[in-house]
Structure 1
Amino acid sequence: MGTVWELDFYSRPVLDENGKKLWEVLLCEGLVDTSTVDQRFRYSQFLPSSEVNSIVLKGAIEAAIAEAISQGFSPPSRIRYFRYQMQNMILRACDEAGIPARPSRRTVALQRWLSDRHATVYPEMAGYTSAPSPSVAAPPPSPQPLPDALLGQQWAFVTLEAAAFTDLPEWEIGFGESFPLDMANLDPSTPIPGLLIFSPRATALAAWMSGLELAYWRIEAGKTPQIVLETGASDSWVLAGLPGPKLLAEAQAFEAAKAKANQVHFLGIQDRRESEAFAGFWLLQELPLG
């Protein structure tokens, strides 16, 4: 996978001397396995609204890379971003900097950093305003069905205690991604809900999902209850239907368990129920984007 960085380029709740909002570029390394925020590279640069363009953003990216290398960090092999409103500018800047960029709601390190800055940095700056920021959510699409060739044959809701993920880096996993679970501030005994998919085409399914920037899965009630996988900036896929009130009640119980686990959950893909290896495994967290 290489080194993945996460990027945000947006206005902040701070006004300059002309009453215009300051903009900020944030770049940081993503969280993987046992890494922590304190061990990751971070870069911040404030800009006036008059300098919001792809050329300036490219310069900030290149400055961040130079600073990272000088500190002994690896440059990014690709960049994730979550603000779909800025995607044209971000894609152009990253392309000109020679770095692939992809929309993703899997920006755990960045969201942690943003939350901290909104709580401890921006309020201490001259010109701070508590006016709410505009929404960053993309228009919700209709969930798409999985390609027929990738449909799983069976699936099951499962639960593991948070402590069980301590040795996650040692598990036999083909495709997947994780983050340090202690970042979610969970007690070791906290039940972590998950979904396991069993398919004779497990490897193909896991390989396909690995290219989707998995964000989280959720339960969609309504006329046709189903399990929906959210990916990228705004894409979603139907993993399975939930026919019957008993199955829907079980699914909603797992949604409630996810809420109690600070929205942490997982998705695993195996070729059969008896297998101890995973063709794919993703530790996920449904994040409020801000």
Structure 2
Amino acid sequence: MRKTWELDFYSKPILDENGKKRWEVLICESPSDTRSTEELFRFSKYCPSTQVNSIWLGNAIQEAIASAPKPPTQIRFFRRQMNNMITKACKDLGLLPKPSRRTITLQRWLEQRMESVYPNEPGYQGAKPTASVRFEVADPQPLPDALRGEKWAFVTLEADAFAEMQEWEIDFCEAFPILGEQSLVPDLTPETRIPGLIIFSARAKALAGWMSGLELAAVQVKLDSPAQLILETGFSDRWILANITDPQTKQEAEGFQTAKEQASGVHFIAIQSDPNSESFAGFWLLPELNLG
């Protein structure tokens, strides 16, 4: 099983003694399921502005690996402007770099540091938005013919239902804690309705296997003509999951969007062979993050 870390390497709103921005690497473990019984691994280190390069970053990653319970096999990162440097540092260490918007542990940690760590540092200048995480909206591409579902349906589950997720029969899966002490979405309650999209396909396992190789970000509803369900992956890739062709389905799609907003962006996508199946070929709990 792959061990995934999340990484950010960027300047902070702090000036050093020479008036240059301080840089910092943040590394944390990416959760794989909804269990919340232990803390996820974290590592942080400031970098001098004169040493911002893939060599320093690679050494920092090695230092993190030396202090971690288990080394990673792949590293997610969300800043597209740092793509070349992070990719080189990872590949030099034999790690798989993964451009991704699925960095929920890292985002929550960044929010916490912006609120309670950086303002207390000497030279703090105040946080400002950065263009390094502004994503271009690419035109959605059609799924390969062999991977299109025959049917699909909107559903909802109470947040509390995911406590039993480890008992479900799932071939490909990834999730994160949404309840309990280690929850990454503190606004949710056990009764919060989590919206989802289930895709039914005779080639369910092939479709789930293909999706498992992507960095799933979110399911979006596009209501202007042509109305469509869009799967967002990686930095900015978008795929057409289905076309919305009738008023009732459009109303259900609007309900999906509303429920997603009420659930702080949490939603899921699942794949089954047919509506009567008691197992899943794939199931992914998705965080819709406002990266910044």
**Shorter-chain TM band:** over 0.9
Partner of 2:8 in structure 1? 8
- Aligned to 1:227, what secondary structure does the other structure show? strand
Confirm whether residue 209 of structure 1 aligns to residue 211 of structure 2: yes
Residues 130-163 of structure 1: CA deviation (Å, up to 9, x unaligned)? 2413131221211111000110000000011111
Structure 2: tracts of 5 or more residues without a match:
none
1:87 alignment partner in structure 2? 83
Please give the alpha-carbon distance, in whole angstroms, between the structure 1 residues aligned to 2:24 and 2:129.
14
- The RMSD of aligned alpha carbons is 1.3
Tell me how far 1:2 sits from its aligned partner. 2.1
2:99 to 98, 103, 107: 103
Is contact 2:114–2:127 with CA below 8 Å preserved after alignment?
no
Paired with 2:48 and 2:106, the residues of 1 have a C-alpha distance of 21
Q: Which stretch of the first structure deviates more once superposed, 135-144 or 230-239? A: 135-144
SS class of match (2:95): coil
Taking a change above 3 Å as real, the CA distance of residues 200 and 160 of structure 1, as seen in their structure-2 partners, is: same
Question: What is the DSSP-based 3-state SS (H/G/I as helix, E as strand, rest coil) of the residue aligned with 1:167?
Answer: helix
Identity over aligned pairs, percent? 55
Moved more, 126-135 or 179-188: 126-135
- Whole-Å separation in 2 of the counterparts to 1:176 and 1:50: 42
Contact 2:159 2:178 in 1 (8 A): yes
Secondary structure of the residue that 1:106 maps to in structure 2? Answer: coil
Q: Is residue 2:166 matched to residue 1:174?
A: no
Alignment equivalent of 1:112, drawn from 108, 111, 129:
108
Provide the residue aligned with 2:142 in structure 1.
145
Q: 1:246 offset after TM fit, Å?
A: 2.9
Give 1:27-106 correspondences, 5 Å limit. 27-36=27-36, 39-68=39-68, 73-106=69-102
Contact 1:105 1:215 in 2 (8 A): yes
- Given the two structures, how large is their TM-score scaled by the length of structure 2? 0.95
Aligned residues: 286
Superposed CA deviations along residues 141-200 of structure 1, whole A, max 9, x for unmatched, are 111110001100000000111111110011100012111122212111111100000010
Q: Compute the TM-score of the two structures, normalised by the length of structure 1.
A: 0.95
- How much does 1:237 deviate? 0.5
Regions of 4+ moved over 2 Å = 34-38
**1:193 maps to which of 195, 203, 208:** 195
Preserved CA contact (<8 Å) 2:34 2:162: no
Secondary structure of 1:266's partner?
strand
In structure 2, distance between residues paired with 1:140 and 1:94: 27
Name the SS of the counterpart of 2:270 in structure 1: strand
